[in-house]
């Protein structure tokens, strides 16, 4: 890793992605900023001599490979991949259609896999690189109204934790980032948040109440995305990535409480759990 790395950022046309690109550029890095509309990405971020914008639908493997090739053509290498693009299919499980659930997994889980699969050959050839993937507090703690979203983020957590072992021998490090509530565009209806398609009477009142609560949270979240973006640049530039970065006081508190709950569950049935081994047969 050098002082002037090449960053490849997905979902760079809005929200946290914009802040990540700006923070990396401000630190002197070169950035490949991707989004579904490359013109919109450049318009939002602003022209910069170290910026390249590329159109990319992360659910399209061929498009990911073309974007990786374009990045190497322009800058000669890729040092830092940031899997940031994603969306939020909100709702109770029975209200989320099978098509919506699959779409959630395609974007939030298989999308990062597509992009990472396209870029890893470049990093392996270099024998260096960083793969940074934005998951969520919902990737560590299940939450109400988040069945599809949490499933996609839990899947990312398992993938990233295992990927570390695959890539470490080639000088490539990984970091999963679990943000709490940040004031991004994730809760903007029609932008990143999609409400459930199906109506189930038992869930009707709870669904209506929860949707109104989520809408009321938009623009009121406690986390500053610009500070999170700067934190990611700071961690990347330090060279040694932590396997996880729990981002935000709210998610730190939630994870600590969840860990304590899991420990209590272990202790509650410790003897029963420990009794499950095969017993040695007497001669």
Query: CA 32: distance to chain centroid?
Result: 18
* Assigned domain for 127 exists: yes
Count of structural domains, the chain: 1
Query: What pLDDT score does 215 carry?
Result: 77
Question: Is residue 96 in some structural domain?
Answer: yes
Question: Does residue 246 lie in a domain region?
Answer: yes
* Antiparallel, parallel or unpaired: β 129-134 and 172-179: parallel
The answer for 145, left when phi > 0, alpha when psi is -120 to 50, beta otherwise, is left
Per-residue pLDDT of the chain (283 residues; tens, 9 = 90+): 557 899 999 999 888 999 999 999 999 999 999 999 999 999 999 999 999 999 999 999 999 999 999 999 999 999 999 999 999 999 999 999 999 999 999 999 999 999 999 999 999 999 999 999 999 999 999 999 999 999 999 999 999 999 999 999 999 999 999 998 866 655 555 557 888 999 999 999 999 989 888 777 766 565 788 999 999 999 999 988 999 999 988 999 999 999 999 999 999 999 999 999 888 777 6
Residue 283 resides in a domain: no
CB-based burial label for 73 (10 Å; 0-12, 13-18, 19+)? exposed
Asked if residue 113 belongs to a domain, the reply is yes
Q: Tell me if 220 is assigned to some domain.
A: yes
Task: Please state the pTM of the whole predicted model.
Answer: 0.92
What is the structure's pLDDT at 186?
A: 52
Containing structural domain, residue 13? 6-274
- The phi and psi torsions of 71 (rounded to 5 degrees) equal -65, -45
pLDDT at 281: 74
**Residue 164, domain CATH:** 3.40.50.720
> Choosing from 89, 92, 149, 203, which is the catalytic residue?
149
Is residue 26 a part of any domain in this protein?
A: yes
Is 1 within the bounds of a domain?
no
Residue 203 annotated to the active site:
no
Residue 153 and residue 141: Cα distance in Å, rounded? 10
Dihedral in degrees, nearest 10, Cα atoms 280, 281, 282, 283:
-120
Q: Which uninterrupted H or E stretch holds 214?
A: helix 201-217
Model pLDDT, residue 163: 98
Residue 1's pLDDT is 58
């Amino acid at each position: 890793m050098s002082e002037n790395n090449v960053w490849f950022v997905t979902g760079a046309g809005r929200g946290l992605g914009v802040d990540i690109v700006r923070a990396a550029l401000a630190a002197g890095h070169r950035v490949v900023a991707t989004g579904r509309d490359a013109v919109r990405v450049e318009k939002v971020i602003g022209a910069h001599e170290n910026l390249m914008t590329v159109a990319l639908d992360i659910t399209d493997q061929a498009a990911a490979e073309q974007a990786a090739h374009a990045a190497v053509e322009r800058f000669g290498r890729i040092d830092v991949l940031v899997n940031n693009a994603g969306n939020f299919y909100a709702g109770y499980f029975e209200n989320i259609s099978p098509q919506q659930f699959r779409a959630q997994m395609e974007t939030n889980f298989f999308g990062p896999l597509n992009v990472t699969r396209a870029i890893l050959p470049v990093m392996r050839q270099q024998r260096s690189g960083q793969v940074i993937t934005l998951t969520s507090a919902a990737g560590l703690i299940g939450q109400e109204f988040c069945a599809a979203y949490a499933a996609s983020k839990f899947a990312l957590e398992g993938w990233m934790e295992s990927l570390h072992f695959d890539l470490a021998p080639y000088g490539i490090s990984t970091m999963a980032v679990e943000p709490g509530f940040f004031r991004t565009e994730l809760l903007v209806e029609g932008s990143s948040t999609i409400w459930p398609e199906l109506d189930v009477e038992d869930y009707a009142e709870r669904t209506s109440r929860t949707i109104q609560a989520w809408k009321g949270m938009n623009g009121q979240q406690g986390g500053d995305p610009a500070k999170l973006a700067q934190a990611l640049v700071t961690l990347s530039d330090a060279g040694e990535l932590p396997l996880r970065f729990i981002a935000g006081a709210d998610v730190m508190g939630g994870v600590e409480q969840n860990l304590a709950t899991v420990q209590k569950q272990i202790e509650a049935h410790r003897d029963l759990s420990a009794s499950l081994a095969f017993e040695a047969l007497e001669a």
